[in-house]
Amino acid sequence: MSQHIAFLTPMAEPTREVVRSLLPDGFTIAFAQTNDETEHRKMVPEASVIMAVGTYVTAELIALAPKLKLIQKWGIGVDKIDLSAARSAGVTVAITAGATSIPVSEHALMLMLATSRRLPLAHRSLQEGKWIATELRTECSMLDGKTVGLYGFGNIARFVAKRLRGFEVKIIYHSRRRVDADIEAQFHAQYVDFDTLLVQSDLLSLHAPLTPETRQLFNAATFRKMKPGSILINTARGELVNEPDLVHALETGQLSGAGLDTFCGEPPSATNPLFHMDQVVATPHSAGGVYDNVPHIVGHMFRNIKQFHQSQPLDAADIVVASPA
């Protein structure tokens, strides 16, 4: 008997084609056309698996899916999944640990460069017939010789550190747990306490999950401790940052720039003042969204799904909520 998968996140047709081409034998799949939970409620009653990218998987949806055994997340962030409801229902929740580390780390590095060199302002000036090379000189900076701080030191942060090696920067990091010395040596990264991370970083890149402890951790008090003129990069979760406080820090010059891929409440309003500041580079939560990585991440998801239904253990790094034995 076929197992049914409900893919709750709308995807472009080329991506759906990749998913269909890799769909394992013995499974059927249906794709959501919208992010409307009304549609999702109709999709889940027959599903043994839910797949999702950035879609909310609520307690109500889980309750409407009596056959549900596995929620498979595209990526690693699970803040939009009701983990408590999944646990209570005996549903396993799995992620694709490491599957987006390369594109997200590349994107973080791109934001560092684009923000340091005021890329949107430079591009827009040419569109407007302005030649501002002289003015840009006083606004731009290079990475060479800078201290780059990493808040969090999981897979993505380590890939960022690896890619920064060629820029002759000093790398410091802070995370809940210090990693082993051999890992620090491998990535040429030095552990520091949180306040030291703030004080010393010329660029501070966020790579931590959203938890009650990290929610809006980067706020007015935090920004006041940061090195004057430093740059904030966020490819993690928008809710790590208090956006009004960030706007104020940019307006006062406490921070000289911000490169942001994630926001509080997505999609954000076009009136968000961050989108109208020359010192901000913003992208629509697209750091992990590269087409040439789709087969890799879809293959990872389907590997988990097959192993789960064959009662084979999943990689421990992929398990967020384990179903009862």
Average pLDDT over residues 202-209: 98
Average pLDDT over residues 260-274: 96
In percent, how much of the chain has pLDDT > 90?
Answer: 98
Across the beta sheet with 255-260, the strand order is 189-191, 170-174, 147-151, 203-206, 230-234, 255-260, 280-282
Among residues 237, 239, 243, 300, which one is catalytic?
A: 237
Beta-strand relationship, 230-234 and 170-174: unpaired
Among residues 117, 118, 207, 285, which one is catalytic?
A: 285
Written as one letter, the residue type at 184 is E
Average pLDDT over residues 214-228: 98
Q: Is the pLDDT of residue 253 over 70?
A: yes
Among residues 17, 168, 251, 266, which one is catalytic?
A: 266
Q: Is the pLDDT of residue 301 over 80?
A: yes
Alpha helices in the chain (DSSP H): 13-22, 37-43, 59-63, 83-88, 101-116, 119-127, 133-137, 155-164, 181-187, 194-200, 220-225, 243-252, 294-309
Does the annotation count 266 as an active-site position? yes
What is the pLDDT confidence band of residue 172, given thresholds at 50, 70 and 90?
Answer: very high
Burial class of residue 175 in the structure, from the number of CB atoms within 10 Å of its CB (0-12 exposed, 13-18 middle, 19+ buried)? middle
Taking the C-alpha atoms of residue 206 and residue 196, their distance in angstroms, rounded to an integer, is 15
pLDDT at res. 2: 84
Q: Is the pLDDT of residue 195 over 80?
A: yes
What is the pLDDT confidence band of residue 288, given thresholds at 50, 70 and 90?
Answer: very high
11 Cβ partners below 8 Å, 6+ apart?
19, 31, 53
What is the pLDDT confidence band of residue 54, given thresholds at 50, 70 and 90?
Answer: confident
Average pLDDT over residues 291-320: 97
pLDDT at res. 325: 58
pLDDT tens for 34-48 read: 999 999 999 999 999
pLDDT at res. 323: 77
pLDDT tens for 110-138 read: 999 999 999 999 999 999 999 999 999 99
Backbone dihedral angles phi then psi of residue 26, each to the nearest 5 degrees: 90, 5
Average pLDDT over residues 247-271: 97
Average pLDDT over residues 7-25: 97
Does the annotation count 285 as an active-site position? yes
Does the annotation count 243 as an active-site position? no
Average pLDDT over residues 62-78: 96
Residue count (the chain): 325
Backbone dihedral angles phi then psi of residue 143, each to the nearest 5 degrees: -80, -30
